[in-house]
Amino acid sequence: MAEESLDNPKAGLAAAKVENTGLREANIGLPSPSEDTADRNHVDGALRGSEERLRLAVEIGGLASWDWHIASGKVVWNDRHFLQQGYAVGEVLPSYQAWLDRLHPDDRDETVALIQAARDGRSTFHHEFRALWPDGSIHWRAARGRFFYDESGAPVRMIGVAEDITEQKLAVQRMAASEARLRLALEAGRMAPFEWSLDDALPPVNDDLRRLVDIDDAGAHVEQGRARHHPDDAALLDQTRQRALDGDDTFLDFEFRHLTADAEVRWLQVRSEIVRDNLGRPRKLVGVQLDVTEQRENEERLRLLMLEVDHRAKNLLFVVQSMVSLAKAGDLETYRQALLGRIESLSRAHQLLAESRWSGGDLRQLLAEELGPYGVGDNGHIKLEGPPISLPARHAQALALCLHELATNAAKYGALSVDEGVLTVHWRSSHGQLELSWIERGGPPVVAPRRSGFGGTLLKRSLQPFGGQVELQWAQVGLSAQIALPLQANPDPEPSPA
């Protein structure tokens, strides 16, 4: 009977009357005309009451309703249906076309197809779609409807309700956007959120952590993933867990190491908050794990760099001490100028190495710094020929002193003391060793010194601790120097004033 009344309301009403009449016949016989009228009034009143309750439920629920009589094309909307479509109440004559006019163009084909499928399949129409208002605003609606059919099975009527779900949709979109931003922030910051139940001995391995430290599928299981914790940090993790259980801390930060599938060590920093139950007992740690491997490596490089700088500074001080104590000159001003020149040479080499973070010194740049005051590349007096070569930091300062002594001598007595003089510096790398030729031509006639001063001693001895050597040829046409120096850094000698 229920199906008959839904598909054919009149048939349903007649059936209800027959059923009532049968009951009366079984008890008191045929009804009188007054009784029949009373029954009809009773049924009509029940129907009106049911319709009124339905109307109130629809209004209280904030629902729009429609009643579409397919054969006649007549459509009935309640007030909220007008408003959800972007119409003023009574602005248009309700119709299928008026509803279609406000359906978003991108949703039109799918929505109409679903209505037709519900009609042909005798199923409930249930769909979410957008209404496009005249002001360009978009409003989401969730609709449910049902078709009714006549005795021949033809659809004659569709009744349904719709709800405005714009706020819910916007909330979902905002949530999705927020989650996307969070995900980007976590990935950019190389962070992985986690929850560590203090009932477990070790932190968990989740998908975010697997992404963070590049755990492959073979380490996807929890126990296999936990096996990647560095064994030397097992005691630290035990102590951290016990500290969380025993202490009154609110936040807990610590670092430990994790091993990738390739046995690469990754440092993880944990920043967490201790979550307690209603009795104040610590239950879990909630926070993020950050990959701080690069930061750790930078700190280690900085520590080594500071040690290197400290060692270089110590050597420099001994070199300066030697220059001060051993250098000789006929007068104070000459002594001062010689000493300042050598110290400035050391300073230039030091600056060059500092700019490269003590990773090495470029030979051509080192030569350009020493010979710059004499016009490198400007007047043709100085020619630099050779491939790019990076000197170990340990050797660059010693070579800078050698080049400074050669340049100072050339400027005073050799090719750089006259306009016609030419200095050619040629170098190459051969079997892991720098071979540098210093050739002066066109200067005053050369006379070999009768004794070796501090400059000559410095030339011969400064490179010896690093396996280098200098050979000087005092030819009359000009001084020539051959310098050989290994390009492989060896351990520094202990500095000595002697």
Place of tokens 């043709």: 380
Among the residue ranges 155-159, 183-187, 456-460, 468-472, the one predicted with the least confidence is 456-460
Helical residues (DSSP H) of 103-199, grouped into ranges = 105-121, 166-188
Q: With pLDDT > 90 as the criterion, what percentage of the chain qualifies?
A: 26
pLDDT higher at 428 or 258: 428
Give pLDDT, residue 218: 42
pLDDT over threshold 90, residue 404: no
Give pLDDT, residue 338: 57
Measured between alpha carbons, how far apart are the two ends of the chain, in Å?
119
Among the residue ranges 97-106, 169-178, 205-214, 485-494, the one predicted with the least confidence is 485-494
Give pLDDT, residue 308: 64
Q: Contacts for 115-121 with beta carbons within 8 Å, 24 or more apart?
A: 115/145, 118/145, 118/146, 118/147, 119/147, 119/155, 119/158
| Residues 6 or more apart whose Cβ sits within 8 Å of residue 396 | 349, 352, 353, 360, 361, 366
* Mean pLDDT value across residues 205-230: 60
Task: Say if CB 368 and CB 376 are below 8 A apart.
Answer: yes
Residue 321, sorted as left (phi over 0), alpha (psi -120 to 50) or beta, turns out to be: alpha
Give pLDDT, residue 233: 83
Strand, coil or helix: 239: helix
Place of tokens 């001003």: 333
pLDDT higher at 485 or 304: 485
Strand, coil or helix: 131: strand
pLDDT over threshold 60, residue 443: yes
pLDDT over threshold 60, residue 356: no
Task: Say if CB 294 and CB 196 are below 8 A apart.
Answer: no
Q: Rounded mean pLDDT of the chain?
A: 76
pLDDT over threshold 50, residue 23: no
pTM: 0.41
Q: Pick from 67-81, 170-184, 260-274 the range whose average pLDDT is largest.
A: 67-81
* Mean pLDDT value across residues 458-476: 83
